[in-house]
A and B are shown apart, each in its own frame.
Chain A
Amino acid sequence: MPKYLKKAFLIALLIRLLLLPYFAYPEDIFETHNTSFLILDNLRNIFNIRFSPLSHLIDAVFLFIFSPVWPEGLKSALQTQNYFYIPQIHRVLFFFKLPFLIFEFTAYIIFYKFLAKQNVKKDKIKSIMMFLLFNPAVIYSVYIFSRFESYGFIFSFLILIFLYRKSFSIATILIFALAPFVREFFIIILFGLILFSEFKVWQKIALLILSYLPYPWYVFKTGIAETAIDSYVKGGLGYYILQPRFYYLPERPIYLYFFILFLLLTFLYLKSKSKAKFSQAGFINLSIYYALAYFHPQYFSWVLPFLAFFLVFENKDFNKLLKIAWVICFLFLAFPFSHAVTTFGPAFPVANAFRFISLDKILPEVLLYSQIFQSIFRGVLISFTIYISLR
Chain B
Amino acid sequence: MILILFIIINLIIPKTTYAVYEEYFFYKNCQNKEALTLNQQISQEFSIDKDFGAIEVYFEREGIGDGKLEFRLEKKNGNMVYNNIYPLEKVINGYFFPFGFETQQLKQPESFVFYIKLIENPNNAKIYVCKDNKNNLSYKISGERSVLKSIIFWSLYNIRQDPYFFAFYFLLLLGVIFIWKRI
Chain A interface (Cβ within 8 Å of chain B)?
A: 3, 6-7, 10-11, 13-15, 17-19, 21-23, 69, 82, 84-85, 87-91, 94, 144, 347, 349-357, 361-362
Chain B residues positioned under 8 Å from A85 (CB to CB): 25-26
Partner of A353, one of B1, B20, B179: B20
Q: Chain B residues near A11 (CB, 8 Å)?
A: 180
Please determine whether A361 and B23 come into contact, CB atoms closer than 8 angstroms: no
Task: Establish whether residues A84 and B23, one from each chain, have CB atoms under 8 Å apart when the complex forms.
Answer: yes
- Residues of the A chain whose Cβ atoms lie less than 8 Å from the Cβ of B77: none
A-B contact pairs, 15 of them (CB 8 A): A6-B183, A11-B180, A14-B177, A18-B2, A90-B162, A90-B166, A94-B169, A350-B154, A353-B20, A353-B21, A353-B22, A353-B150, A354-B147, A356-B20, A362-B12
Main secondary structure of the interface of B (DSSP, over half): helix
Q: How far is the CB of B156 from chain A (nearest CB, A)?
A: 11
Residue B81 lies at the interface, judged by CB distance under 8 Å to chain A: no
Closest to A82 in B: B26
Interface residues of B in 166-183 (CB under 8 A from A): 166, 169, 172-173, 176-177, 179-180, 183
Contact of B162 among A10, A84, A88 (CB under 8 A): A88
B13 within 8 A of A: yes
Q: Would B183 and A7 count as touching, CB distance under 8 A?
A: yes
C-alpha gap A22/B154 in the complex (Å): 11
Quote the shortest CB–CB distance from A140 to chain B (angstroms): 10
A89 to B151, CA, bound (A): 15
Within 8 A of A (CB), among B127-183: 145, 147, 150-151, 153-155, 158, 161-162, 165-166, 169, 172-173, 176-177, 179-180, 183
Q: How far is the CA of A356 from the CA of B20 in the complex (A)?
A: 6
Within 8 A of A (CB), among B1-23: 1-2, 5, 12-13, 18, 20-23
With contact pairs A18-B1, A82-B26 given, residues A3 and B162 touching in the complex (Cβ less than 8 Å): no
Alpha-carbon distance between A74 and B40 when the two chains are bound, in angstroms: 37
* Chain A residues in 8 Å Cβ range of B24: 352
Having A6-B183, A85-B25, A362-B12, one finds 5 other A-B pairs with CB under 8 Å, namely A14-B173, A14-B177, A17-B173, A350-B155, A354-B147
CB distance from B158 to the nearest CB of A (A): 6
Instruction: Select the residue from B20, B22, B24 with max chain A CB neighbours within 10 A.
Output: B20
Name the residue on A nearest B153 (C-beta). A351
Q: For the complex, what is the distance from the CA of A11 to the CA of B145, rounded to whole Å?
A: 34
Chain A residues contacting B12 (CB-CB under 8 Å) are: 362
- Whether A17 lies near B172 (C-beta < 8 A) is yes
- A10 and B20 form a contact (CB under 8 A): no
Give CA–CA (A23, B4) in the complex, Å.
14
Within the assembled complex, what's the spacing in Å between the Cα atoms of A6 and B179?
A: 10
B183 and A88 within 8 A (CB)? no
Residues on the B chain within 8 Å of A347, using CB = 5
Taking CB as reference atom, which chain B residue is nearest A89?
B158
Q: Is the CB of A17 within 8 A of B176?
A: yes
Distance (Å) between the CB of B59 and the closest chain A CB? 21
Residue of B nearest to A361 (CB): B18
Expressed in whole angstroms, the Cα–Cα distance for A37 and B18 within the complex equals: 40
Closest 8 CB pairs of A and B: A353-B150, A91-B165, A351-B154, A353-B20, A351-B150, A10-B180, A88-B162, A351-B151
